[in-house]
């Protein structure tokens, strides 16, 4: 039997396989990585949108993903991300694909942009029925319900990795973008330092919800193939990068029960099903993994090989646009 072609770069084949366990359902899946771009794909998923993967154990509650005090910080962090987006790419018409609780879109709207959101028809009711942001829905097989050239900026903020067909979604986004419009894709970086410590317990792996796992090389190749000119590649959400280090190192101590500390921060239903022994072990070992995680994050910042990355690329009609790489400052969170 031959090797399957990489669905990200289409230049290599999947040659390496790692077994990974979902921390919610406890099901095991295969992660296959590309011989060329090192991106990956989760295989063995029967129904990626099943409530056993995306139910209350994942979303927690309509009121928030975390306990109230942590949810306030989570919301503040998203507002800061939105402000940086608007500062660097001020746009009058913005589409976010998969907005969740719409924290980013609310801030962009308050800054003066006209915002829209697209969600899957299978999304939970409290996401679709948003009182503040109009949510359009469509199935995976339908054309997006927007006119061509309608938006100046299309955002995939930690959504692209969840999509069963990212190529088709990128083609749809390209149609909806105005000439010289910008696409923003923020994803976990499978080629990052924190991912390489132990892939199967990496916090941001999140199988099977993350169907595709992008390297910087793979995502760049995909965008350039679709005639985008990359304008910047930089760190994604730095709070997620830091927490990725912290929880990933803690997971090394409890390899059969991942993300116990994360579920403690969530509370409610997610905490109710956590393995109490794993949680106690992660809590007692905090004096070990907290400083190690901070050290890893600082090394990541210095090396530029971040746990998540945000790529901005401009739509162009030229064939095979030249790649323009702009490395942002290491510290730009003012």
pLDDT in tens, 4-21: 899 999 999 998 899 999
Q: What local confidence, expressed as pLDDT, does residue 224 receive?
A: 95
Confidence band, pLDDT 50/70/90 cuts, at residue 148: very high
121: enclosing H helix or E strand: none
Contacts of 267 (CB under 8 A, 6+ apart): 60, 66, 67
CA dist., res. 324 & res. 334, Å (int): 25
Q: Which domains does the chain have, with CATH numbers?
A: 48-315 (3.40.50.150)
Q: What local confidence, expressed as pLDDT, does residue 200 receive?
A: 92
CA dist., res. 243 & res. 246, Å (int): 5
Beta-strand relationship, 40-43 and 212-213? antiparallel
Residue 175 in this model has a pLDDT that exceeds 70: yes
pLDDT in tens, 211-267: 999 999 999 999 999 999 999 999 989 999 999 999 999 999 999 999 999 999 999
Closest CA to 214 of 165, 171, 174, 160: 160
Sign of torsion over alpha carbons 159, 161, 165, 170: positive
CA dist., res. 113 & res. 61, Å (int): 28
DSSP at 61 = B
Confidence band, pLDDT 50/70/90 cuts, at residue 326: very low
Which has the minimum average pLDDT: 7-11, 52-56, 190-194? 52-56
Q: What local confidence, expressed as pLDDT, does residue 5 receive?
A: 94
Q: In sequence order, what DSSP letters do the residues of 142-204 get, joined into one string? A: SPPSS-TT-EEEEEEES-GGG-S-HHHHHHHHHHHEEEEEEEEEEEE-TTSHHHHH-GGG-TT
CA dist., res. 309 & res. 331, Å (int): 14
Q: What 3-state DSSP class applies to 217?
A: helix
Note if the bond before 208 is cis, omega within 30 degrees.
Answer: yes
Q: What local confidence, expressed as pLDDT, does residue 318 receive?
A: 57
């Amino acid at each position: 039997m031959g090797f399957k072609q990489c669905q990200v770069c289409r230049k290599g084949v999947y040659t390496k396989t790692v077994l990974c366990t979902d921390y919610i359902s406890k099901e095991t899946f295969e992660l296959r990585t590309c011989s060329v771009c090192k991106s990956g794909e989760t295989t063995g998923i029967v129904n990626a949108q099943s409530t056993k993967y995306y139910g209350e154990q994942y979303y927690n509650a309509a009121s928030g993903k975390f306990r109230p005090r942590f949810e306030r910080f989570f919301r503040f962090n998203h507002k800061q991300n939105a402000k940086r987006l608007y500062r660097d790419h001020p746009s009058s018409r913005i589409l976010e694909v998969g907005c969740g609780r719409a924290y980013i879109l609310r801030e962009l709207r308050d800054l003066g942009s006209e915002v829209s959101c697209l969600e899957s028809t299978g999304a939970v009711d409290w996401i679709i029925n948003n009182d503040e942001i109009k949510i359009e829905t469509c199935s995976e097989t339908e054309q997006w319900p927007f006119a061509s050239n309608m938006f100046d900026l299309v955002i995939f903020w930690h959504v692209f990795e969840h999509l069963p067909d990212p190529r088709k979604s990128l083609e749809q986004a390209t149609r909806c973008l105005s000439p010289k419009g910008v696409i923003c894709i923020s994803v976990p970086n499978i080629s990052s330092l924190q991912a390489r410590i132990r892939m199967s317990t990496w916090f941001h792996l999140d199988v099977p919800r993350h169907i595709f796992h992008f390297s910087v090389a793979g995502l760049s190749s995909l965008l350039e193939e679709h005639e985008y000119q990359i304008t910047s590649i930089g760190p994604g959400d730095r709070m997620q990068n830091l927490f990725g280090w912290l929880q990933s190192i803690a997971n090394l101590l409890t390899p059969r029960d991942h993300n116990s500390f994360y579920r403690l921060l969530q509370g409610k239903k997610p905490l109710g099903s956590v393995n109490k022994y794993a949680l106690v072990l992660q809590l007692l070992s905090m004096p070990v993994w907290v400083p190690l995680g901070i050290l890893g994050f600082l090394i990541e910042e210095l090396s530029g090989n971040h746990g998540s990355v945000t790529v901005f690329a401009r739509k162009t009609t030229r064939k095979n646009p030249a790649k323009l790489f702009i490395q942002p400052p290491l510290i730009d969170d003012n």
